[in-house]
Copies of this chain bind each other. A is one copy, B any other.
Amino acid sequence: MALRHYTLDFNLSAPDCPTTVHGLQSIFQEQEMTETVHDTEGHGYLATFIGKNGRLVILRVTALGLLTIDLQCCEGDNIVQVENLLNTLEEKLRSLLHGNIKRVKRLPALTRGAAVDRYWPTADGRLVEYDIDRVVYDEDSAYQNIKIMHSRQFGNILILNGDVNLAESDLPYTQAIMGRGKENYAGKEVLILGGGDGGILAEAVKLKPKMITMVEIDQMVIDGCRTHMRKACGSVLDNLKGECYQVLVEDCVPVLKKYVEEGKTFDYVINDLTAVPISTAPEEDSTWEFLQLILDLSIKVLRPTGKYFTQGNSANLTETLALYEEQLGRLSCPVDFSKEVVCVPSYMELWVFYTIWKK
Binding site for B on A (CB under 8 A): 1-3, 5, 7, 9, 11, 34, 36, 38-41, 43-44, 46, 48, 50, 52-54, 56, 58, 60, 62-66, 68, 70, 72, 74, 103, 105, 107-108, 110, 112-113, 117-119, 121, 124-131, 152-154, 169, 172, 314-316, 343, 345, 348-350
Contact = CB atoms under 8 A, between A and B. Distances in A.
A110 B64 CA distance: 18
| A-B pairs, 6 with minimum CB distance | A43-B54, A66-B113, A1-B64, A126-B129, A343-B345, A108-B127
B70 A70 contact: yes
A118 to B, nearest CB: 8
Contacts of A348: 128, 348
Specify which of A113, A128, A129 lies most central, judged by the most chain B CB atoms within 10 Å of its CB.
A113
Contact of A345 (B68, B105, B107, B350): B350
A106 to B, nearest CB: 10
Contact of A43 (B1, B53, B108): B53
Given A1-B65, A169-B350, A172-B343, A48 B38 contact: yes
A318 to B, nearest CB: 9
A74 to B, nearest CB: 7
A74 B54 contact: no
